[in-house]
């Protein structure tokens, strides 16, 4: 008996995708529930599993564009599965021997190429590690079951780099030409659309991180013992953003045609950069969650990012986005809106700088903050007031703890 391997529906409005990698080889014995392939769409990457046990026969190769419902392989069970190897045996001895040396020669080339492609991976891991406390921004845990988000993204990048080797590319030794993935095409379209449809303006400020760093130093160990996760920087910024959204609700809006929609909920997106591109998982009802809840949610996304399990539901419905370029060492940037949201906060590298405190020059750990907003619906006064509220929340974290 033969079972078809079809591309299932993976989300609303998703009509096609690309096979980024087969996780099993043609002719492998498959158990029901085994992951067969990774499908990359313009929204997420997802694994397709086997509905039956048997022998896998691949019809569509890695890198192929496929539509929802398309048959990309079959799983042969029973007599059909056992017949296939029996038919293949007579031809194998005659052709296999000459082919073996060629394959043996090709193998070392692949082995030599692998380290060259793998070299960027360690730098990705090491670059954000000690530059500033920025990596902790999205690090809910380091030595607990929930790994740090930056570490998980690095691991995801490694696996995705390996996956990308299966996607056909043309090279003339001077350049390499490769088709954009569905996700990268979607990102490109979204960013251009945001630039063309919104009147984007950016306002800047800076925050003294001393108080947050002191608080984390004082309570971090007890926090980890009690909750099993690290107290990162990102939870402070999420809390500060929620507090600012409540104080300046004009930021928590979206424009649909000629209608301005006021949001009365606080689902906050946290932008994450991966090898495949930018994804923005959303923390639901952030206003009702504690610091430990937020860190635990971030830890959950860390696991999903590591395992490539982020879904369309994880990425939809946010009202505001936080992007942390400081993880990569960025000192200042102007983030682009995440439509249909009307504002986005950019965090940056923490850097010691001289500032004036009570008439005296002092060295403090400072972070530049950038708020990009849609000037069609948000006035400058509201944007500046919002960013000042975020700054106050970070510089006086006790306000966030007591909700004032």
Tell me which residues are annotated as active site: 375, 379
Cα–Cα distances in Å, from 46 out to 18, 37, 38, 158, 309? 11, 8, 6, 17, 6
Angle at 191 between CA 186 and CA 193, to 5 degrees: 95
Cα–Cα distances in Å, from 356 out to 63, 184, 360? 57, 44, 5
Cα–Cα distances in Å, from 18 out to 67, 70, 166, 185? 8, 12, 11, 12
Rounded-to-integer distance, Cα 323 and Cα 305, Å: 16
Place of tokens 């696996």: 159
Q: Which region holds residue 334: left if phi is over 0, alpha if psi is between -120 and 50, else beta?
A: beta
Residues in Cβ contact with 15 at an 8 Å cutoff, skipping those fewer than 6 apart? 67, 68
**Residue 160 — φ and ψ, nearest 5°?**
-70, -30
Cα dihedral sign for 12, 15, 16, 22?
Answer: positive
Rounded-to-integer distance, Cα 244 and Cα 373, Å: 14
């Amino acid at each position: 008996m033969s079972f078809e391997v079809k591309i299932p529906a993976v989300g609303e409005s998703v009509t096609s995708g690309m096979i980024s990698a087969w996780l099993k080889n043609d002719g492998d014995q498959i158990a029901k529930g085994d992951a067969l392939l990774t499908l990359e769409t313009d929204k997420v990457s997802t694994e397709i599993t086997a509905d039956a046990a048997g022998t896998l026969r691949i019809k569509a190769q890695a890198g192929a564009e496929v539509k929802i419902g398309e048959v990309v392989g079959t799983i042969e069970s029973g007599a059909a599965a056992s017949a296939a190897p029996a038919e293949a045996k007579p031809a194998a001895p005659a052709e296999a021997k000459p082919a073996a040396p060629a394959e043996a020669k090709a193998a070392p080339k692949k082995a030599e190429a692998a380290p060259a492609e793998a070299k960027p991976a360690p730098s990705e891991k090491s670059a954000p590690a000690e530059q500033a406390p920025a990596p902790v921004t999205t690090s809910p845990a380091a030595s607990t079951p929930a790994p740090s988000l930056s570490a998980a993204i690095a691991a995801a990048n490694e696996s995705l780099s390996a996956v990308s080797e299966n996607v056909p590319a043309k090279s003339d030794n001077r350049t390499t030409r490769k088709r954009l993935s569905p996700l990268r095409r979607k990102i490109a379209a979204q960013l251009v659309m945001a630039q063309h449809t919104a009147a984007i303006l950016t306002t800047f400020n800076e925050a003294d991180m001393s108080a947050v760093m002191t608080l984390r130093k004082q309570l971090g160990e007890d926090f980890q013992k009690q909750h099993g996760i690290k107290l990162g920087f990102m939870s402070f910024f999420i809390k500060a953003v929620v507090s600012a959204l409540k104080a300046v609700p004009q930021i928590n809006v979206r424009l649909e045609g000629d209608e301005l929609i006021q949001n009365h909920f606080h689902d906050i997106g946290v932008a994450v950069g991966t090898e495949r591109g930018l994804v923005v998982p959303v923390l639901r009802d952030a206003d009702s969650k504690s610091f430990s809840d937020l860190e635990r949610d971030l830890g959950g996304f860390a696991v999903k990012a590591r395992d490539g399990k982020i879904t369309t539901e994880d990425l939809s419905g946010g009202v505001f986005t936080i992007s942390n370029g400081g993880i990569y060492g960025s000192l200042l940037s102007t983030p682009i809106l995440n439509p249909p949201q009307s504002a986005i906060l950019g965090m940056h590298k923490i850097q010691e700088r001289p500032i004036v405190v009570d008439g005296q020059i002092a060295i403090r750990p400072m972070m530049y903050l950038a708020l990009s907003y849609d000037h069609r619906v948000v006035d400058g006064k509201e944007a500046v007031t919002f960013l000042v509220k975020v700054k106050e929340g970070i510089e006086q974290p006790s306000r966030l703890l007591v909700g004032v």
